[in-house]
A and B are shown apart, each in its own frame.
Chain A
């Protein structure tokens, strides 16, 4: 990206830094352009990382936030021996294992349907995309009302067909499957859109070539469609996975307090420790361990799946 800047570079006042020549005036203007963004990014993007790193080694909480102690690895050691963290991690993995196949194949399936169904295509596209327009808070509250134990729509229907009502969100064994379904219901439309645009970008010639070779529809799907959208699929899969690991608002709103741990996820736990109990040190320690976990998983996946040409 070498841009010949004919006006500035002819001006006087150059300086060299690490073997590259810069113009003083141009550099100063650039600094001015960058200043607000850089300041804010340092304070609110870079510093939070440093702070959560530093606080993981303290015993800071609401009371002692003014004069906390550095306790070395004690707080981090506590993370590994805390049964609540183990349970939160189990719940998160349960959620991820449930939502990933459901949402991913729903998104892929919907995209394929939209590609092949021509009648009412526009209506279907809007229908599948509608839930994406709802915010997390609206989705959670809407489903809280639909699944309400006493007067929710679903339970009214169950009563009408003679079944006994189910306490969907109060029962520890049904709460998580409900949260999984609701998350997939809300999120699938977005990934569907990304996959659909990838599907439509596959050149028609490839299908024509496959047809000349007398490839069946299934063979075409395996050998033209799937390779054609593989980079997008990998991208969608990884972003979906990282998003799934961050699940927080839905259990927080729909099952306040996490049903004694049954729907307490890692992000919710980290947030809860800081907000409810003011354990900033402990919360940061959990966050640090968890960030390393997610980063490892996503890096490994990028390595294994390959194909997504980031930068």
Chain B
């Protein structure tokens, strides 16, 4: 150790105030790198959105130039030709949008109800098998179940839920109970103070009453997080729709997309319009519910 002058204050990090050409170059390189990365991640999406505003001829005419990444004109009124064509040429497209909305709403309500009740029971009640159930949930969550889609299909077959109108029930039912969401609810309820519930109980409120009148309003964040994740999962669901759905009328949107994509002759403008349209709700959820999503992501990430 060399001896230091006792009265000289040495700053922890000596910052270079003078901006040499090396720093400028370094900054420029970093900026360039970031720009290239951002381009790689964004260009397909920009292309999808911008081409959804064009008709098929314009798409092909502008493909080779930079115009392909820009909207067709600055007149917003002309942008929606492909969307109009999409809804008129594929008569069931609008219907599949409605289907997806209905499927999502039903699933969200049922998932929130069923899993929050179970999570509350696991967190607050003492009953035979309660602790064992929590352990079972944790074990089953780790076991990777490879393509449970097929056995689920067999179960639906035995339940007789594969014939035409009933397969909608068969499509939604398996998604209602979720180990992950039950566990998330349990963890959240455990972190809430018990005292308020007990006060309400002493005042004569029933267990069910406490749950719906006190717990539900107080745990809006967890309901929002689970609801949003359920929405995204259900909206983007593809595999079991392909296995279970038969009639175009009941197709959810994501599955209907491949009808538009495989249509002959292929109309790129229309395909991009369909893809963009099906992504809008998810994008809106990400923009407006960012807080809950980050919470959910860090929950799944940190658990």
Write out the residue numbers on chain A whose beta carbons fall within 8 Å of the beta carbon of B148: 45, 48-49, 52
> Are the CB atoms of A311 and B239 closer together than 8 Å?
no
Interface residues of A in 161-201 (CB under 8 A from B): 185, 189-190, 193-194, 197-198
A38 and B153 alpha carbons, distance in the complex (Å)? 20
Bound CA span A131–B114, Å: 32
Once the chains bind, are B201 and A7 in contact (CB under 8 Å)?
A: yes
Asked if residues A284 and B303 are in contact (CB atoms below 8 Å), the reply is no
CA of A290 to CA of B127, assembled, Å: 37
- In the complex the two chains form, is B153's CB within 8 Å of A274's CB? yes
Tell me which of A4, A20, A40, A128 contacts B38 (CB under 8 A): A128
CA distance in complex: A266, B271 (Å): 29
Q: Which residues of B contact A287 (CB under 8 A)?
A: 146-147, 150-151
Interface residues on B, range: 35 or more
Is B163 in the interface zone, CB < 8 Å from A?
Answer: no
A residues in contact with B31, CB < 8 Å: 119
Q: Report the minimal beta-carbon distance from B211 to chain A, rounded to whole angstroms.
A: 8
Is residue B149 within 8 Å, beta carbon to beta carbon, of the partner chain? yes
- Does any Cβ of A come within 8 Å of B176's Cβ? yes
Residues of A within 8 A of B176 (CB): 36, 40, 44
A123→B38 contact, CB < 8 A: yes
A48-B177 contact, Cβ under 8 Å, with A29-B125, A151-B63: no
Q: Are A26 and B125 in touch, CB under 8 angstroms? A: yes
B residues in contact with A57, CB < 8 Å: none
- Dominant secondary structure of chain A at its interface with chain B: helix
A270 within 8 A of B: yes
Which residues of A are found within 8 Å of B13, using beta-carbon distances? 211
**CB interface residues, B 150-183, toward A, < 8 Å:** 150-155, 157, 173-174, 176-177, 179, 182
Contacts A41-B179, A153-B68; A52 near B151 (Cβ below 8 A): yes
22 sampled A-B residue pairs with Cβ under 8 A: A3-B124, A6-B198, A7-B198, A23-B126, A36-B113, A40-B173, A48-B152, A48-B155, A52-B151, A124-B37, A124-B38, A130-B41, A135-B278, A153-B47, A153-B63, A160-B64, A236-B301, A274-B153, A284-B151, A291-B143, A295-B143, A310-B303
B residues contacting A by CB (< 8 A) are: 12-13, 30-31, 34, 37-38, 40-42, 44-45, 47-48, 60, 63-64, 68, 113-115, 117-118, 120-128, 130, 133, 138, 140, 142-155, 157, 173-174, 176-177, 179, 182, 190, 194, 198, 201-202, 207-208, 211, 235-236, 238-239, 242-243, 254-255, 257-258, 261, 268, 271-272, 275, 278-279, 282-283, 286, 294, 297-298, 300-303
Q: Contact residues of A with B, CB < 8 Å?
A: 1, 3-8, 17, 20, 22-23, 26-27, 29-31, 33-34, 36-38, 40-41, 43-49, 51-52, 55, 65, 110, 113, 117, 119-120, 123-124, 127-131, 133-138, 141-146, 151, 153, 156-157, 159-160, 185, 189-190, 193-194, 197-198, 208, 211-212, 232, 235-236, 242, 245-246, 248-249, 253, 266-267, 270-271, 274-275, 280, 283-284, 287, 290-291, 294-295, 298, 310-311
